[in-house]
């Protein structure tokens, strides 16, 4: 689902009005950032002093925003006088995806046919190029066509997968892994053309043993399988056979994959036993969940991929605590700037992340639009407020 949104963002190229100049932004000193924690979609990062959000408009050029604890606003993380916040010279310029690792932010920016990894200080200063990795394999080009790829951060690595097709029934995959501290790139599974091709998305990593779990189609059999691959050695440790009805994976480790099965519910798959166990029945079309502070927060789609979206909160046993419509998009559509596709995207509201006791919501153009207190959602009575 996340990948689909990402692709939509890449495909639909829309000029978005740039944000107005921010006011004075006070951010914590580097050594005061004590409690960064993983945030659901990797765009929001949380600390004791404030939160950081990579606001990614449909143009794909993200802007870093900072929220000071106790306030209800987000400011652009840039201290350059009279900056227009529109290009790489801006301190808040952030590409399309980022992570926080050992004291720094790392963002991915695409420049021509490469992904650049940029290191950024927590106050927005000191943008430094750490390394580069290709977005296609033109060096192997001999009638091959790049048909897509994905990338993500995990455990101090930038994982980059490229899928290319040679003909209607032959395709190959490439897996690049960059150490984000050193910029060193390793090419794993070079021209990997076994029965398992068309990597779909990176679903999870078993962090204890530095292995990736990647979903892959079994070529010409229409089956979905998983490959468990060593991050640094490229060894395929095991292939996990087809799991029926799989729509979204929440978590995975060496023994269990927990996922949503369309119109059935939340399932666990025990890898060694090859057993599926129904954890909780649900009849949503899609359900994507993120664990935060012992609760699951997420988006549920009713009936079909284009059906109404709900925001849901579940406890650690998957009991439903809250199911609510997304907050109204009134603010975004009335701001006078939204037209056409932009208007459509600004009316799509989704879950952005959690910080400062609040759940934040973002629209399809990357603008934070609403929040509700975590407590109100746990009580099933959300107190949505628009962000002014």
**Whole-number Å distance between alpha carbons of 374 and 24:** 28
Phi, psi values for residue 4, rounded to 5°: -60, -45
To Zn ion, the closest distance from the beta carbon of 380 in angstroms equals 41
Residues across the chain: 388
**CA 309 to CA 325: how far, in whole Å?**
7
Whether 351 contacts 296, CB under 8 Å? no
* 225 in Cβ contact with 218 (< 8 Å): yes
- Nearer to Zn ion among residue 87 and residue 222 (C-beta): 87
Q: Which residues contact 161 (CB under 8 A, 6 or more apart)?
A: 149, 150, 151, 173, 174, 175, 176, 199, 202, 214
Provide, rounded to whole angstroms, the least separation between the CB of residue 124 and Zn ion.
Answer: 8
What's the min distance (Å) between Cβ of 27 and Zn ion?
Answer: 14
**Residues 296-315 contacting Zn ion, CB under 5 A:** none
* Cα–Cα distance measured from residue 331 to residue 348, given in angstroms and rounded to the nearest whole number: 12
Give me the least distance between CB of 93 and Zn ion, in Å please: 7
* Closer residue to Zn ion, CB minimum distance, 118 or 345: 118
Instruction: Name the segment binding Zn ion (CB under 5 A); options: 80-88, 157-165, 302-310, 341-349.
Output: 80-88
Q: Which residues contact 40 (CB under 8 A, 6 or more apart)?
A: 290, 292, 297, 298, 351, 353, 354
CB of 122 or CB of 350, closer to Zn ion? 122
3-state secondary structure of 30: helix
Residue 64 touches Zn ion, criterion: CB under 5 A: no
Choose one: 75-83, 163-171, 295-303, 373-381; the region binding Zn ion (CB under 5 A): 75-83
Q: CA separation (Å) from 153 to 41, 156, 180, 276?
A: 11, 7, 9, 29
Please work out the total of residues on this chain that contact Zn ion, with binding judged by CB under 5 A. 4
Instruction: Give whichever of 93 and 199 is closer to Zn ion, judged by the CB atom.
Output: 93
> H helices within 279-335, ranges in order?
330-333
Residues 6+ apart with CB under 8 A from 221: none
Cβ-based nearer residue to Zn ion, 46 or 91? 91
Distance, in Å, from the CA atom of 306 to the CA atom of 191, rounded to the nearest integer, reads 36
Structure tokens at 80: 């350059």
> Smallest gap, in angstroms, from Cβ of residue 252 to Zn ion?
39
As a whole number of angstroms, the distance between CA 162 and CA 172 comes to 8
The distance from CA 40 to its chain's CA centroid, rounded to whole angstroms, is 7
Interaction pattern, residues 89-128, with Zn ion; x per rule: CB under 5 A: -x--------------------------------------
Can you read off the two tokens belonging to residue 289? 């969940």
Q: How far is the CB of 365 from Zn ion (least distance, A)?
A: 19
Which of 9, 78, 180, 246 forms a contact with Zn ion (CB under 5 A)? Answer: 78
In the complex, least distance from residue 77 CB atom to Zn ion, rounded to whole angstroms: 8
19/180 with CB nearer Zn ion: 19
Binding mask 223-262 for Zn ion (x = CB under 5 A): ----------------------------------------
Compute the least distance from the CB of residue 25 to Zn ion, in Å.
10
Contact between 51 and 353 (Cβ < 8 Å): yes
CB nearer to Zn ion: give 10 or 83: 83
- Considering only 65, 67, 85, 358, the residue that binds Zn ion (CB under 5 A) is 85
Whichever of 85 and 97 has its CB closer to Zn ion, that residue is: 85
Question: Rule CB under 5 A: which residues touch Zn ion?
Answer: 78, 83, 85, 90
């Amino acid at each position: 689902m996340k990948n689909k949104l990402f692709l939509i963002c890449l495909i639909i190229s829309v000029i978005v009005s740039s944000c107005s100049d921010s006011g004075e932004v006070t951010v914590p000193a580097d050594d005061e950032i004590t409690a960064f924690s993983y945030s659901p979609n990797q765009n929001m990062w949380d600390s004791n002093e404030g939160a950081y959000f990579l606001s990614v408009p449909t143009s794909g050029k993200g802007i870093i925003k900072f929220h000071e604890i106790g306030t209800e606003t987000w400011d652009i993380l840039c201290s350059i006088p009279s900056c227009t916040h529109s290009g790489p010279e801006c301190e808040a310029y952030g590409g399309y995806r980022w992570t926080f690792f050992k004291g720094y932010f790392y963002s991915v920016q695409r420049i021509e046919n490469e992904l650049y990894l940029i290191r950024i200080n927590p106050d927005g200063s000191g943008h430094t190029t750490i390394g580069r990795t290709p977005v296609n394999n033109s060096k192997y080009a001999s009638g091959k066509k790049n048909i897509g790829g994905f990338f993500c951060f995990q455990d101090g690595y930038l994982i980059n997968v490229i899928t290319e097709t040679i003909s209607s029934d032959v395709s190959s995959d490439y897996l690049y892994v960059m150490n984000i501290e050193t910029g060193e790139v390793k090419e794993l599974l070079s021209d990997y053309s076994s029965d398992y091709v068309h990597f779909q998305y990176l679903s999870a990593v078993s962090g204890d043993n530095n292995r990736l779990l990647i979903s892959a189609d079994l070529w010409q059999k229409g089956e979905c399988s998983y490959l468990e691959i060593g991050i640094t050695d490229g060894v395929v440790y095991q292939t996990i056979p087809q799991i029926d009805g799989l729509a979204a994976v929440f978590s995975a480790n060496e023994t269990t994959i927990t996922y949503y099965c369309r119109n059935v519910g939340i399932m666990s798959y025990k890898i060694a036993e090859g057993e599926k166990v129904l954890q909780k029945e649900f009849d949503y079309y899609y359900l994507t969940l993120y664990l935060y502070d012992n609760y699951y927060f997420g988006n549920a789609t009713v009936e079909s991929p284009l059906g109404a979206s709900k925001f849901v909160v579940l406890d650690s046993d998957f009991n439903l605590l809250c199911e609510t419509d997304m907050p109204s998009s009134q603010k975004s559509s009335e701001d006078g700037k939204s037209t056409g596709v932009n208007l459509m995207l600004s009316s799509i509201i989704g879950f952005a992340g959690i910080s400062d006791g609040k759940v934040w919501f973002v629209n399809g153009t990357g603008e934070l639009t609403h929040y509700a207190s975590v407590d109100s959602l746990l009580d099933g009575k959300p107190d949505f407020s628009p962000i002014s």
